[in-house]
Amino acid sequence: MMTIEKIGLKNLLKNEQYLRKCLPYVKAEYYQEKPERIIFEEIQSYVKKYNTVPSWNALAIAIANRDDLFETEFKDIEDIIVEVKANNDDTDIVWLTDATEKWCQERALHNAVLESIQIMDGKNKHKSKGAIPSMLSDALAVSFDPNIGHDYFADADKRFEFYHRKAKKYPFDLDYFNRITGGGLEPKTLSIILAGVNCGKSLMMCHFAAAFLSQHLNVLYITLEMCEERITQRIEANLMDITIDDLNQLPKDMFDKRITNLRNKYKGELIVHEYPTACASVDHFRALLQELAMKKKFRPDIVFVDYINLCQSARVKQGNNVNSYTLVKSIAEELRGMAVEFGFPIVSATQLTRSGYDSSDPGLTDTSESFGLPATADLMFAITTSEELDKLGQIAIKQLKNRDNDVTTNKRFVIGINRSKMKLYDVPENQQNLQDAENDEVGQRSRGAYDKFRVDSPINRFD
């Protein structure tokens, strides 16, 4: 009886159209029987070397030259070749291609399940249990993608539509952040907040989480620094517009009433999940996403990771031979890859170096541990502060990298901060004292308004 495996092997040798379409997606590991797998490996090797379909004689010679087969295996392979060669039935290529794709999907899933069982039983020492969801997801995603690239001339209409298509954005509730991002965060991007200790990294992420939730979006906040309750407390103070001290003093009936009001007001969901510091990677995050989808039907529109340096890498294991540059760069690449895979923006943070913390004008080189992080991020900005800004209830923002817009436009600006309520707010235009150009008319007026707050200390110079 001719199985799908044997029919496929015959057409790989007979039909170049079928070979070109299916060979890139078929893997030797999909064949259960060793003789069929050997035949496929030789076909694949021949095509890779000579870029053409092997003849029956070329295939027979290649197999005869192998020194890793027993005599009985040679006989089994010969029987299959004779059977396949003798079959003259013409198979519809469209049907065969669909059938081969389905067979590949089934075999990929079967192999992934078997490997998952080995991991669960501790027989696979190279992969952790956190890799299982990704393996199953990859197996389920197997498909014969017909897209082989963008044809400059043939796809001109598609390109024109792309140029004029309005990109999906998740707008901020702060005017200057919408200015520098062209209307908000785009899906499939990684944004990084750079700041020193106690400058407001987590506060900013909590504020953004509350702001996006108020837009009826689903928000996932992953914390590796503070516990779930502390993060939720900060977001809750923001949403309820009360100080954390007042939140802690709320009677139960009033607390319940406010929660009910928020539930009726906002249609999005907020999930806060805590991992131990330096114990979770994107493999754990993928497993969490799949679990949330299955158990709560929750799929986030935006994800916060607090913060990136406290993550593990799924690819690079920390040890004596791994430096911080390689490790943090790997984590950043994996997070951005997850953003692309699931189609949401990810916002995270990192620390300034000691010299950067003492500077009012930090740059990308002031990123702690790894310059590979800014190389990977789509948007990166620094938070700085000073005694004068603290008196005004403000923090300064400096753009460091922006793939969507000109980083020199609105490079520096200030926003208001209410630390007790975990809130950020817009500062009036006439109070924006951090203009880039000394001869800018608005900048000169703004600088004049702040002259009394300037001192000679380097930490307070923003130019």
As a 3-state breakdown, the chain gives helix, strand, coil percent values, each rounded to 5, of: 50, 10, 35
Rounded CA-CA distance 448/297 in Å is 54
Query: pLDDT by residue (tens digit) across 204-258?
Result: 999 999 999 999 999 999 999 999 999 999 999 999 999 999 999 999 999 999 9
The two structure tokens encoding residue 341: 């895979």
**Is there a domain that residue 154 lies in?**
no
**Is there a domain that residue 126 lies in?**
yes
330 shares a domain with 423: yes
Query: pLDDT by residue (tens digit) across 298-315?
Result: 999 999 999 899 999 988
Rounded CA-CA distance 409/14 in Å is 61
pTM of this prediction? 0.68
Residue 223: name the closest of 295, 280, 290, 149 by CA.
280
Is residue 434 very low, low, confident or very high in pLDDT (cuts 50, 70, 90)?
A: low
Query: pLDDT by residue (tens digit) across 18-28?
Result: 998 899 999 99
Check residue 433 and give its pLDDT. 64
Residue 381: name the closest of 362, 400, 405, 358 by CA.
400
Domain boundary among 83, 113, 140: 140
Distance between alpha carbon 157 and the CA centroid of its chain, in Å?
30
The strand pairing partners of 412, in sequence order, are 398
Report the CATH number that the domain containing residue 430 is assigned in CATH: 3.40.50.300
Domain extent for 39: 4-140
190 shares a domain with 290: yes
Query: pLDDT by residue (tens digit) across 446-460?
Result: 334 334 333 333 333
| Across 134-154, average pLDDT | 83
List the alpha helices (DSSP H) in 55-167.
56-64, 71-86, 93-120, 132-140, 156-164
**Is there a domain that residue 164 lies in?**
no
**Is there a domain that residue 147 lies in?**
no
393 shares a domain with 288: yes
| Across 129-155, average pLDDT | 83
Q: How many domains does the chain have?
A: 2
Residue 28: name the closest of 19, 18, 40, 20 by CA.
40
Q: What is the mean pLDDT of the chain?
A: 88
The two structure tokens encoding residue 108: 């990929």
Query: pLDDT by residue (tens digit) across 328-376?
Result: 999 999 999 999 999 999 999 999 887 777 777 898 988 888 888 999 9
Q: Following DSSP, what letter does each residue of 72-92 receive, concatenated?
A: HHHHHHHHHHHHHHH--PPPP
Secondary structure class of 48 (helix, strand, coil): helix
Q: Residue 196 above 60 pLDDT? A: yes
Taken in order 56, 58, 61, 66, is the CA torsion positive or negative?
negative
**Is there a domain that residue 157 lies in?**
no
Report the CATH number that the domain containing residue 32 is assigned in CATH: 1.10.860.10
456 shares a domain with 409: yes
**Is there a domain that residue 165 lies in?**
no
**Is there a domain that residue 156 lies in?**
no
